[in-house]
Structure 1
Amino acid sequence: MEKIQSISPDGTEANISRIAEWFPATVTEAFDKDGTVRLAVDFDLLRQELSDHIVDGPQERYILNWPGKRSATLAANAPIAKTLRPVRDDSVDFDNTKNIFIEGDNLDALKLLQESYLGKVKLIYIDPPYNTGNDFVYDDDFAETGAEYLERSGQTSDAGERLVANLDSNGRFHSDWLSMMYSRLKLARPLLTDDGIIAISIDDNEVARLSQMLDEIFGSDNRIAQVVVQANKGGRDYLPLAQTHEYLLIYGRTARTGIYDLPRDVSALPLADAFGPYEARELRNRNPKFNRGNRPNLFYPFYINPELVDEHGYAAVSLEPRDGYRIETVPLNSQGVESCWRWGREKAAGAIVTNDPSESQLVARQVRSGSWNVYEKHRPTTQKAKTIWDETEVRTEAGTREVRELFNGAVFDHPKPVDLLKKLISISTTPESLVLDFFAGSGSTAHAVMSLNHQDGGHRRFITVQLNEPCGEGSVAAERGFTNIAEIGRQRLRLAGSSIGSAGKSEDIGFRSLRIDSSSFADVVRAPNQTDQLDLGSLTQSIQSDRSDEDLLFEVILDAGLELSLPIKRESIQGVDVLSIDDDALICCFATDLTLDVMKEIASREPIRVVFRDDAFVSDAARINVDQVFRELSPNTDVKAI
């Protein structure tokens, strides 16, 4: 019996638990003064998490470490002055779709998504570069020179030093790959729901180091599985052993992770009776921890009538000895030791409805040893996913075939199969979930989301991110007119959506195309969230001249922490264009000739937030008048100016 504690709770342990929730990488093990191992905080790592510069500290720890790890943490935490610009011409059903396609560096994208999608993503799936020796960007089979990548992505110093691109000959071959993954995975974790899942495709080259990294970022207790996927049945015969497999590393955001069973084709069950197909499932509890001693209520006899047998050879059973029911059986394991049943007597009684074994849901059968076992007629409609996926549909060749059929020819090497990702999405999402892929490649994940929605009637949404990685000169993709991988991804979604939508169902087969770009505000020091006082006369025009009102709108949406897929309504108020988001959750008016009457009409709608251009007000007095209008007509509205 547990005794009541006469002391107050340990505040230190509680504080460490709180730190572990927010910064799991900083919690380690250490000896206390009595020599007992306890959880402790690595204050050097905690200082780094809270610092805007690299913090020096001890070099030796029992952790996964590499040169550049602190810089990767700094890169994850460093702010950026970038935004997302809408590209309507590259989109499909821009005004109605809930799906998002982002073109640009995924590190930037993850930072831009933090406020709008914090704790909202049910599944993150990525297929990152496997670090097999080429210069890497974001896909296993596409490469460019280090100089081209660094120049295009702005990741070179003033001296032109190479900062990110990785070569097989580089002495920090693994370190640079780890740094690239570490910063992105740290940013990915907060986006997951409490029961969210991250799944990563990888091969033997980096699986061990990636596992350690995920243990650190997500916690080893939150590891769900390391799934073996048969990617190539014939194997890669240039290796000492013909390698046929890859891996899916699956981790949960917290211990409350939601993993769901797969649907099962009941028609494939081996047996059938008047009620339909079934499989015979032994009623004895096979867990060796459970037995008559600790589960006495689950130990009782059944009585078997060997004369009443159905077409499959299963005999009728009873809970009471009576005419014909002359064979008694109790739950014994293979060594004859008493165990117990899985069901209690009351549940068993409810399953024995008649003397006819073809109608009863509990039956018995004699086994080779001569003893009798009791079986439940199990009719499963679902089944647990296993840790080896070897179906024909999950092999890489299936993904290659799918893309070739869509494009009437090859444009992308070794895309992941849609059925592989549908299986993953099925066990890790609900019909309303949000799925994120920030190493999108040709767009297999987004394609799988649309396909699964079509199959089961779900309304899952996707956010997919792909760098505008150039198609190599002379490549098949380039010859077919594609300049970069992002273009291939968008075209695949158009073709896949058209194919799915042709069946006539009303479903979301579109996407909003957004592109990462520099901030729309020329003076990046003055960010939108620093300009919420309309009466600050010192503010000056800071909007870049090439930006449209929709460009400004999406930067405001990001600043407000709103989802990028919310409906946008454009309307005219007294001849002035106004943009309303999600039924006036946000109203933006970027006109430069606002009148007090326009302000009053906007205020009368009582929006949650409203944003104007600062240069729309001709004087300080005009700003004061607007402030007064909202105080009177809509005092709860958050009013800002840019």
Structure 2
Amino acid sequence: MTSPDLTNININKLTELFPSVVTETLDADGNPKRAIDFDLLRQELSDHVVEGPQERYRLDWPGKRAAAFAANAPIAKTLRPVREESVDFDTTQNLFIEGDNLDALKLLQESYLGKIKLIYIDPPYNTGNDFVYNDDFAETTDEYLLRSGQTDESGASLVANPESNGRFHSDWLSMLYPRLKLARNLLTDDGVLVISIDDNESANLRKIGDEIFGTGNFVAQVAVQVNPRGRHLDRFVAKTHESLMIFVRNSAAESITGIAKEGRMADEYQRSDDGGPFRLLGLRNRNQAFNPQTRPNLYFPLYVEPSTGRVSTELTAEFHVEVFPDAPDGTQTCWTWGRERILRDNALLTAETTGAEWRIFRKDYLYGVDGKVAKTLVKSVWLDGEFTNDYGRKAVKDLFGGAVMDFPKSPQLMKRLLEIAAGPECIILDFFAGSSSMAHAVMMANLEDGGRRQFVMVQLDEHTDPNSTAADAGYSTIAELSRERIRRAGASVAESAGLAETDLDIGFRSLHVDSTNMADVLRSPDATDQLTLTELETSVKPDRSGEDLLFQVMLDWGLELTMEIAIEQIDGQEVFVVEDGALIACFDSTVKPELVRTIAEREPLRAVFRDSSFASDDARINAEQVFRELSPATDVKAI
């Protein structure tokens, strides 16, 4: 009966916006309570690196503040379409983005904010060497020792045994931390993040995942047997598994749905009645801490009708077989349910006998009353032979005729993730695409269940090893090889589908991360003379096409990059029509008044032109006036 605790309310709001700033402190009585780490909050709200010496319980490393800053810092880049690399550019709903995934994630923040159901990544494992994602905060050993306080500016040691191996952990964490922060923004409320990882960084990954997503949104660390033989270099214990670290955006949402397919149902769910598939679980309680003194209400006999196996709590003419909850060794135990629960849910009980001994079971149904999976079949250890790296290599060899990729993930493993976390109408993102096994799995899953899942693959333009099979086959970058994998996998899936699946999407729009399309025309008056004014007349770089500009405008307006694009010729000018009028754009060097009126009469939601296309400021103002008269709801922009 008090007024609301506004502090707790504000902490709840900040927890939703910035889960990484929530920490714990002790109250006056020494009990832990939630609190806000104001140093981290300052960093979230700052456009520069914020220093803060406060010690706290968290994972720290040299460069963490710079990594957090990198996640929030804006970039002057865009995504440029490349039609010749694409498949079914005009109709596909899939994307392949070539470039640094940190840039790509920033560019996707508006268009795909809260729209991705499943994010899967297989980041480079930390093997104690430099890796290809060399962000600005990666550093040399000397820089690391200086920044971590192990040496002074002259290089003299400040500790007995300077430890330089931490540099690789710091570089790896600094690489992944901003990417995970940006990825979280893209997830739907019931979205799922799955990360493949080995033992080198699994402990650190769990800590930064808890910080970014909140400890309550950690689901599990699933062990997947990927190499049944183990590696010959392993000492003491042959490592046959890798881990899948699973987080959800919101633990209150139904994010992991289990597997309801017949082919994936566990053997114990093969029984069935009017309630659907079920398994039998023994009603006898095996908790060793329970005894007649601690749980006297759970010790009583039950009675069975022998002809039907029905169960009752009372002795009658029908229910005359008496069953005590005794253990096989003669020790007394108890039931899992009490009398009230048995009376309420008696229809869920059944008895079976093997000779003279009767046992009481409860029916555990696979499906709930709403038809959804009531009991998850997702276990924490996956031993399926199709999930191994050998199967991943076989899938690639079947497509290319040779081992052109190192350690490709099995598409069957990827499909398992789709089954448990991605329904038939959702978007899946993999921003360490590598061999694009996830794209392959998406097309396979859509073929099987008729779904319309979409994929977004992001891969750095990393060069292949010049001595590799891939290089010998003519593939100069991993991204090039990854796109070819999708093409071949799509063709294979289409061949399996036959003519019956004409609307199966096996294409992708290829986009490249590049510098902004806009030219740098910012000059101070004293740095500008009459000769340079002509160079500053246009704000668009000379090598950029109208379609380049269109995609940058779509990013700026937060439009999905797979929207339908029609190119029309109106009054001899090229006009882009996006999603039947969601956006109409013309980027020709000159825009005629007649074209402006024609576009306005179509009443698009948005219209955009090049500022330099208008002969004068008066012409641009007149164009805006035309829209105010004919289509006042249109959002008009000049770039």
Alignment TM class, shorter chain as reference: 0.7 to 0.9
Corresponding letter in the other structure for 2:570? I
- 1:83-134 per-residue CA deviation (whole Å, 9 max, x = no partner) reads 0000000000000000000000001000000011111111110000111123
Measured after TM superposition, the shift of residue 479 of structure 1 is: 0.6
Q: Is the 8 A contact 2:43 2:69 kept in 1?
A: yes
User: Could you tell me whether the CA contact under 8 Å between 2:614 and 2:620 is conserved in 1?
Assistant: yes
Q: Does structure 2 retain, via aligned residues, the 8 Å contact 1:194–1:256?
A: no
After alignment, is 47-56 or 367-376 more displaced?
367-376
Tell me what 1:281 maps to. 280
Partner of 2:62, secondary structure, is coil
One-letter amino acid of the counterpart of residue 247, structure 1: S
Alignment of 1:215-614 (within 5 A): 215-240=210-235, 241-257=237-253, 258-262=255-259, 263-265=261-263, 280-282=279-281, 284=283, 303-306=303-306, 308=307, 315=309, 323=317, 325-329=319-323, 335-340=332-337, 345=343, 348=346, 363-366=350-353, 370-376=357-363, 383-502=376-495, 503-504=497-498, 505=501, 506-523=503-520, 540-614=537-611
Once the two structures are superposed, residues 455-500 of structure 1 have per-residue CA deviations (whole angstroms, 9 ceiling, x without a partner) of: 1111111101001100111211111000000011000000000000
Compute the displacement of 1:366 (Å). Answer: 3.4
The answer on whether the counterparts of 2:283 and 2:335 sit within 8 Å (CA) in structure 1 is no
**What is the aligned partner in structure 1 of residue 107 from structure 2?**
112
Does the CA contact (< 8 Å) of 2:284 and 2:360 recur in 1? no
* Structure 1 residue 284 displacement after superposition: 3.2
Taking the aligned partners of 1:181 and 1:155, their CA distance within structure 2 comes to: 12
Q: Partners in 2 of 1:218 and 1:273 — Cα distance?
A: 39
Normalization by structure 2: what TM-score?
Answer: 0.84
Alpha-carbon deviations, 1:32-70, whole Å to 9, x = none?
Answer: 455443222111111111111111111532110000001
State whether structure 2 residue 7 is matched by structure 1 residue 8.
no
For residue 39 of structure 1, what is the aligned residue in structure 2? Answer: 34
User: Does the 8 Å contact 2:137/2:171 carry over to 1?
Assistant: no
Tell me how far 1:338 sits from its aligned partner. Answer: 4.9
Q: 1:602 to 1:278 in 2, by over 3 A?
A: closer
Q: Distance in 2 between matches of 1:256 and 1:316?
A: 37
Deviations 1:210-242 (A, max 9, x none): 111101111111100000011111111322211
Determine the C-alpha separation between the residues in 2 that align with 1:299 and 1:495.
64
Displacement of 1:370 in angstroms is: 4.0
Residues 358-413 of structure 1 show CA distances to partners (whole Å, capped at 9, x for unaligned) of xxxx6412379945314538577885110001110111111011101110111111
In 1, the alpha carbon distance for the partners of 2:271 and 2:209 equals 45
Q: Which position in structure 2 is the counterpart of 1:50?
A: 45
Unmatched 5+ stretches in structure 1: 139-149, 163-167, 310-314, 352-361, 527-538
Deviation at 1:578, TM superposition (A): 0.9
Query: Which residue in the other structure is 2:527 paired with?
Result: none
Partners of 1:544 and 1:299 in 2: CA distance: 83
CA contact (8 A) 2:433 2:458 kept: yes
User: Is the contact between residue 298 and residue 344 of structure 1 (CA under 8 Å) also seen in structure 2?
Assistant: no
Contact 1:501 1:509 in 2 (8 A): yes
Aligned mate of 2:121, from 115, 122, 126:
126
Deviates more, 1:507-516 or 1:613-622: 613-622
Q: Say what the alpha-carbon RMSD is for the aligned residues.
A: 3.5
SS at match of 2:517: coil
Cα distance in 2 between the residues matched to 1:32 and 1:347: 45
Report the more deviating stretch, 585-594 or 380-389: 380-389
Taking a change above 3 Å as real, the CA distance of residues 281 and 415 of structure 1, as seen in their structure-2 partners, is same
Matched letter for residue 626 of structure 1:
A
1:74 offset after TM fit, Å?
A: 1.2
Inter-CA distance 270–31: structure 2 relative to 1 (3 Å threshold): closer
| Residues 346 and 15 of structure 1: CA distance in aligned 2, closer, same or farther (over 3 Å) | closer
**For each residue in 1:313-350, what CA deviation from the matched residue of structure 2 results, as whole angstroms up to 9, or x when unmatched?**
xx46578866554214577888433542797657645x
Q: How do residues 625-636 of structure 1 correspond to structure 2 at under 5 angstroms? A: 625-636=622-633
Give yes or no for contact 1:95–1:568 (8 Å, CA) kept in 2.
Answer: yes
Is contact 1:291–1:340 with CA below 8 Å preserved after alignment?
no
Cα gap change, 1:337 to 1:38, in 2 (>3 Å)? same
Q: 1:275 to 1:156 in 2, by over 3 A?
A: closer
Give per-residue Cα distances to partners, 1:581-618, cap 9 Å, x unaligned: 11111111112222222111111111111100111111
Task: Give distance in 2, aligned partners of 1:224 and 1:261.
Answer: 13
Residue 378 to residue 199, structure 1, CA distance change in 2 (3 Å): closer
Show the counterpart of 2:68.
Answer: 73
For normalisation by structure 1, the TM-score amounts to 0.84
SS, match of residue 564 in structure 1: coil
Give yes or no for contact 2:325–2:332 (8 Å, CA) kept in 1: no
Residues 521-565 of structure 1 show CA distances to partners (whole Å, capped at 9, x for unaligned) of: 012769xxxxxxxxxxxx941101111110000000000001111
Quote the residue 2:148 is aligned against.
none
- Label 1:219 to 1:268 Cα distance change in 2 as closer, same or farther (>3 A): closer
Task: Give the secondary structure class of the aligned counterpart of 1:225.
Answer: strand
1:300 shift after superposition: 10
Find out whether 1:21 has 2:16 as its counterpart: yes
Distance, in Å, in 1 between the alignment partners of 2:138 and 2:61 is 21
Report % sequence identity: 52
Q: Does 1:194 align with 2:189?
A: yes
In the alignment, what sits opposite 1:312? none
**Kept after mapping to 2: 8 A contact 1:267/1:277:** no
**Compared CA separation, residues 221 and 555, structure 1 to 2 (3 A):** same
Q: 1:300 to 1:579 in 2, by over 3 A?
A: farther
Aligned to 2:154: none
Counterpart amino acid of residue 610 in structure 2: R
Counterpart contact for 1:283–1:376, Cα < 8 Å: no
- State the match for 1:355 in structure 2: none
Matching residue's letter, 1:98:
Q
Supply the distance in 1 between the matched residues of 2:447 and 2:284 (Cα, whole angstroms): 40
Corresponding residue of 2:157? none
Q: Is the 8 A contact 2:63 2:137 kept in 1?
A: no
Partner of 1:96: 91
Work out the number of aligned pairs and report it. 588
Q: Work out the CA distance in 2 between the residues paired with 1:295 and 1:458.
A: 50
2:179 to 166, 181, 184: 184
Q: Secondary structure at the match of 2:461?
A: coil
* Structure 1 range deviating more: 622-631 or 484-493: 622-631
Distance 2:297 2:636 in 1: 67
Comparing 401-410 and 267-276, the one that deviates more? 267-276
- Alpha-carbon deviation of 1:271? 6.8
